[in-house]
Amino acid sequence: MNVIHEKQERHGLLKRLIILTGLLVLVAMTVLLAGCSSASKRVTSSTGDAAASVTKESLPTLAPVNLNAGQKLQVVASTGIVGDVVAQVGSDLIELTVVMAAGQDPHSYEPIARDVAAIADAHVVFINGLGLEEGLQATIEAAASRGQPVIPVSAGIKPLQMQGDGDHDAIEVPKGGDPHTWFDPNNVLKWVDNIEGALAALDPAHAQDYAARAQAYRQQLQDLDAYIREQTERIPPGRRKLVTDHQVFTYFAARYGFEMIGAVIPGFSTVAEPSASDLAKLVARIREAGVPVIFVGRTANPRLAQVLADEAGVRVLSLYTGALGEPGSGADSYIGLMRANMDTIVQGLSKP
């Protein structure tokens, strides 16, 4: 009977791995149909010299723009998260265009003609940097080559590397480290410095206005940091363990004392692909660590995470990761996004 039972267990495991592998193929086909078939090329390109020229730590030297009476700075932001922070500093003194709408994945987004035109006409372009905007890379490089100011708001932030036990198959990740710097509000304080400095340099007539708005927003960010620390205390220390759809919470975990157990996609980009071996190992780690939930970004495909969750006997909860929520969602600003995420994390981890 033991032999029969052992064979049944092996058969069940094999069947589950086949299901996982099949779902990987399905996810890959979905990505292909969405126009993201160049995933491997993008992951590679984000480590190359071209990306480094835009996402390097130093910022470009800026000269004042000659603005006519009543004319505003034409400003472009790559993502809604970057755009929201730019808007806090620039407010009604700038004309802001945000390339990516709510709910769009910054890793896989590819520009349309309207985006290219907006970037070409801008006095300044604000990007996250560190290889986040993979599909926009060529457009950003073209703008920089024309001499347009391109400001990576994450410049000056020490990039963190992938967390976890590293027990996964080889996968290329950006040399610059984790691009999701905004998951520590203290990093966004640096964003504000970079944004204020750029706007004041380009439009010195309103430098004091930018400074005042930046200072007011810094206080809101400090309040947000305090809120997250306060909410973290509601989670028992032994339950502060995270599993996500991809490596997105490196800075959050480091700041607030969480442990990254693993990610469905063991890399910083949603356009990378895990192996069946990676997935089997992750299921084992989830069970061993007693993790009760997998957190999945709303811009990610949840099907693979749901299969893993079913296999591991845990729940799936949605977070806002790469993009703001729709208007009225409560996550349609950076601070709203972070507060909503923290409330969901507390919900998922505070109770058995």
CB 53 within 8 A of CB 155: no
79 in a domain, yes or no? yes
Query: For position 6, what pLDDT does the model report?
Result: 43
62 in a domain, yes or no? yes
Give CA–CA dist 55/76, Å, rounded. Answer: 16
328 in a domain, yes or no? no
Say whether pLDDT at 284 is over 90: yes
Which of 78-87, 218-227, 229-238, 296-305 bottoms out in mean pLDDT, i.e. has the lowest? 296-305
C-beta neighbour count of 207 within 10 angstroms: 15
Query: For position 22, what pLDDT does the model report?
Result: 52
- Return the SS3 of 75: strand
109 in a domain, yes or no? yes
Count how many domains the chain has: 1
294 in a domain, yes or no? no
219 in a domain, yes or no? yes
Task: Check which CATH number belongs to the domain holding 149 and give it.
Answer: 3.40.50.1980
Query: For position 338, what pLDDT does the model report?
Result: 98
The average confidence (pLDDT) of the chain is 83
Report the run of H or E that residue 98 belongs to, with start and end.
strand 94-98
CB 263 within 8 A of CB 247: yes
Select from 309, 45, 313 the least CA-distant residue to 173. Answer: 45
143 in a domain, yes or no? yes
Say whether pLDDT at 216 is over 70: yes
| Residue type at 130 in one-letter notation | L
Q: Give CA separation, 331 vs 126, 130, 342, in Å.
A: 21, 24, 11
Query: For position 304, what pLDDT does the model report?
Result: 85
Select from 101, 119, 117, 87 the least CA-distant residue to 298. Answer: 101
Percent with pLDDT over 70 in the chain: 77
C-beta neighbour count of 337 within 10 angstroms: 24
Write the pLDDT tens digit of every residue in 85-144. 999 999 999 999 999 988 888 888 889 999 999 999 999 999 999 999 989 999 999 999
Q: What is the mean pLDDT of residues 324-346?
A: 97
80 in a domain, yes or no? yes
Write the pLDDT tens digit of every residue in 5-52. 444 444 444 445 445 555 444 444 433 333 333 333 232 233 333 333
* Strand ranges, E, within 257-303: 259-265, 293-297
Which residue range is the domain that position 156 belongs to? Answer: 46-161+174-225
Which of 126-130, 174-178, 183-187, 203-207 bottoms out in mean pLDDT, i.e. has the lowest? 174-178
Structure tokens at 11: 């058969």
